[in-house]
Amino acid sequence: MLLEGKKLLVTGVLTRESIAFAAARALQEQGAEIVLTSFGRAMGLTEKSARRLPEPVDVLEMDANDPAHIESVSAEIGSRWGRVDGFLHAIAFAPQDALGGNFLHTSWESVSTAIQTSAYSLQAIAAGMLPHMQQHGGAIVSLDFDARVAWPIYDWMGVAKASLESITRYLARDLGPHGIRVNTLSAGPLRTIAGKGIPGFQALADGWGDRAPLGWNPTDATPVADTIVFLLSDLARGITGEMVHVDGGYHAMGSAPAIEGGPADHPASAS
C-alpha cells in the first residue's frame, strides 16, 4: 500500500482505455483516496468510467484552461480534505490542423490552443493546488511523449510536449523548496481516444514493439500506471525535474540503414 493515506487529484479520465483510468485504478489499489476531474460533454464519459473503479469516486468539473474552474476545484479540495498530496496531469489537446503534416501552415490560434491545453495547464493547476501542498509537500506527475526529437505527424503537439517538459523543470525548481516534486512520464504509444485522434498513430504503435528491446503492448497501460504510482509515492522522494521513460526501452535504441554485405543481409551470420 504505497499510497495509504494519500489524497490525490486525477485529471484526464475519459474511457477505460485512458491512461488516467489505469492510473486511477492503480492509485486506489495502493491505498490512495482520489477525486477525478472532467468538464463539458466529457463529464458523462468520466462519470461512467468512474463507476468501474474499485472504490466510488467523485468527479469534479474543471476546464484546465479556465482559471475560475481551477479555483473552484481548489476550494472544494480545501473544504473536502484540507490538503492534497499530489495530482496527475493527463491533459492534452491539439486541433486537427496542428497535426498530421501541416506544421508549416498551422494557425497561431490552433498552436496556442495546443500549448495552453497541453503544457501551460500544468503550471495553472500546480499554482491552484499549491495552497494545499506547500505545508507538507507532495508530488506532481504529467504525461508526456518524448519531445527531444521531431516525430512524424506529431507536429505542434510535439512542440507542446517540449513545452511541458520545460515547464516540468521550472516547476521542479520553484516548488522544490516546498517539498513538492514535479516529474513527467514519457509513455510509449497506447490506444486511447487521444492516440486514435492523431493521423498515422496506428502505424507508429504497430512498429513500436519491434524496436523496443522489452517489446511493447499498445493496449496495456498498466506499466505506465504502476510508474505513476511510484512517482506519486514517497519512494520517489529524491526525484524531481525528471522525464521517466516507460516505453519498453524504445527511446534508448538507435537506428541506421542496413549495411550492404552486413548482418542485415545475411541473417544466418548472427548464429
Choosing from 161, 170, 196, 250, which is the catalytic residue? 161
196 is annotated as an active-site residue: no
Cα separation, 107 vs 222, whole angstroms: 37
| Residue the block writes with cell 523496443 | 212
Buried b (16+ CB within 10 A) or exposed e, 35-47: bbbbbeebeebbe
| CB-CB contact of 227 with 122 (8 Å) | no
| CB-CB contact of 59 with 47 (8 Å) | yes
Buried b (16+ CB within 10 A) or exposed e, 176-195: eeeebbbbbbbbbbbbbebb
Element (H, E) at 19: helix 19-29
119 CB contacts (<8 Å, ≥6 apart)? Answer: 160, 161, 163, 164, 167
Residue 53 C-alpha cell reads as 473503479
| CB-CB contact of 164 with 114 (8 Å) | no
Q: Which amino acid is at 147?
A: A
H helix count then E strand count, the chain: 9, 7
Cα separation, 31 vs 25, whole angstroms: 10
120 is annotated as an active-site residue: no
Choosing from 6, 48, 120, 154, which is the catalytic residue? 154
Positions annotated as catalytic residues are 154, 161
